[in-house]
Amino acid sequence: KQEVTQIPAALSVPEGENLVLNCSFTDSAIYNLQWFRQDPGKGLTSLLLIQSSQREQTSGRLNASLDKSSGRSTLYIAASQPGDSATYLCAVDQGGSEKLVFGKGTKLTVNP
Amino acid sequence: EAGVVQSPRYKIIEKKQPVAFWCNPISGHNTLYWYLQNLGQGPELLIRYENEEAVDDSQLPKDRFSAERLKGVDSTLKIQPAELGDSAVYLCASSPGGLNTGELFFGEGSRLTVL
């Protein structure tokens, strides 16, 4: 059974700092991996999708990497801003099953 | 363009009462998902529809949960009777072409509290 773990559970940083969020998964037979953002009381917003054959994806200040063989992904946020404060969730699509398995998320707080 | 719309946003009921949640996906999105999110957890898939067909309902507790997607557009998720452990956020999501497109859009959720 696929398990997705995110470390740390919470992170507080000063504005402007570069930071890394970690995601690990137990079964490397994934179809793709996605990073989502969730604001309090809101739904999820897809940030980046990495196909199993890819190593990284970039969108603006966000960069996500994938090392499928080691079961790890990282989300790098450059020059963090208070508006980046949210919970970030990692999810894997297990073998094209169309069923995302989510981690519990990392709650990020960026202090002005 | 409107996003995924869910209602009600909040619902408080007594245990053993029925409750229903409604979802209107983005126009043209054939795939619709219902997820359950407990506090401090990631969402878990309950059911997936392709048009009006439920193609994956393996994680839907069928003794008390039911769902339908008539005409392949709007969808309703029902719980009858509700139990204390059903208190959670129920999220609806839609996609034009499935997860591999990265185009997965979530509604704001329906928060259920069972007393």
What string of DSSP letters covers chain A?
---EEEE-SEEEEETT--EEEEEEES---EEEEEEEEE-TTS-EEEEEEEETT-SEEEETTEEEEEETTTTEEEEEE-S--GGG-EEEEEEEEETT-S-EEE---EEEEEE-
Mean pLDDT by 10 residues, chain A (112 residues): 94 97 94 94 92 94 96 97 97 81 97 96
Does the beta carbon of A109 lie under 8 angstroms from any beta carbon of chain B? no
Per the CB < 8 Å rule, is B106 touching A104?
no
In tens, the pLDDT along B65-107 reads 999 998 889 999 999 999 999 999 999 999 987 777 778 899 9
The string of pLDDT tens digits covering residues B46-66 is 999 999 999 999 899 999 999
A47: closest chain B residue by CA? B102
Q: Is the Cβ of B41 closer than 8 Å to some Cβ of chain A?
A: yes
Asked if B45 is an interface residue toward chain A (Cβ–Cβ < 8 A), one would say yes
Q: State percent of chain B over pLDDT 70.
A: 98
Contacts of A31 in chain B (CB under 8 A): 99-100
